[in-house]
Structure 1
Amino acid sequence: MGASLGQRLDRSLARLGTNLLIPPLILLIPWTQEVIDQLLFRGGWNLPMEPRGPFIGVFTAPFSHSGFGHLLANSLMFLPLSWLVLTKGRRDYLAVWLGVYATAIPVWLFWPTASHGLSGVVYGLLGYLLLIGWLERRPLSLLLSVLCLISYGGVLPSLIPLFSPAGVSWIGHASGFAGGMLAAWGMHPTTQPSDTSKR
Structure 2
Amino acid sequence: MLAERARTGLLTVGLFTALLWAIHLVNVLTGTRLVGWLGIDPRELEGLDGILFAPLLHAGVGHLVSNTFPLLVLGFLTFLEGARRFSVAVAASWLGSGIGVWIFGGGLTIGASGVVFGLFAYLIVRGFYNRSLRQILLAGVLFLMYGSILWGVLPSPGSNVSWQAHLFGALGGLLAALVLKRRPAPEGTDRRRQSNRR
TM-score range, shorter chain: 0.7 to 0.9
Counterparts in 2 of 1:170 and 1:25: CA distance versus 1, 3 Å: same
CA distance in 1, matches of 2:16, 2:141: 24
TM-score (ref. length: structure 1): 0.84
CA contact (8 A) 2:100 2:165 kept: no
Aligned to 1:28: 18
User: How far off is 1:70 after superposition?
Assistant: 0.6
Whether 1:170 and 2:160 are equivalent positions in the alignment is no
Bigger shift: residues 122-131 or 152-161:
152-161
State the Cα deviation string for residues 41-99 of structure 1 (Å, max 9, x = none): 2x343121111234221010000010111111110111001011112111111111221
Counterparts in 2 of 1:45 and 1:18: CA distance versus 1, 3 Å: closer
**Secondary structure of 1:161's aligned partner:** coil
TM-score (ref. length: structure 2): 0.84
Q: Number of residues paired by the alignment?
A: 184
User: How far off is 1:159 after superposition?
Assistant: 1.1
Aligned to 1:3: none
CA contact (8 A) 1:74 1:118 kept: yes
Aligned counterparts, 1:71-150, within 5 A: 71-103=64-96, 104-150=98-144
**Corresponding letter in the other structure for 1:127:** A
Counterparts in 2 of 1:118 and 1:139: CA distance versus 1, 3 Å: same
Match of 1:184 among 170, 173, 177: 177
CA contact (8 A) 2:129 2:178 kept: yes
**Corresponding letter in the other structure for 1:24:** G
State the Cα deviation string for residues 105-145 of structure 1 (Å, max 9, x = none): 24313434221101000001001001101111112211221
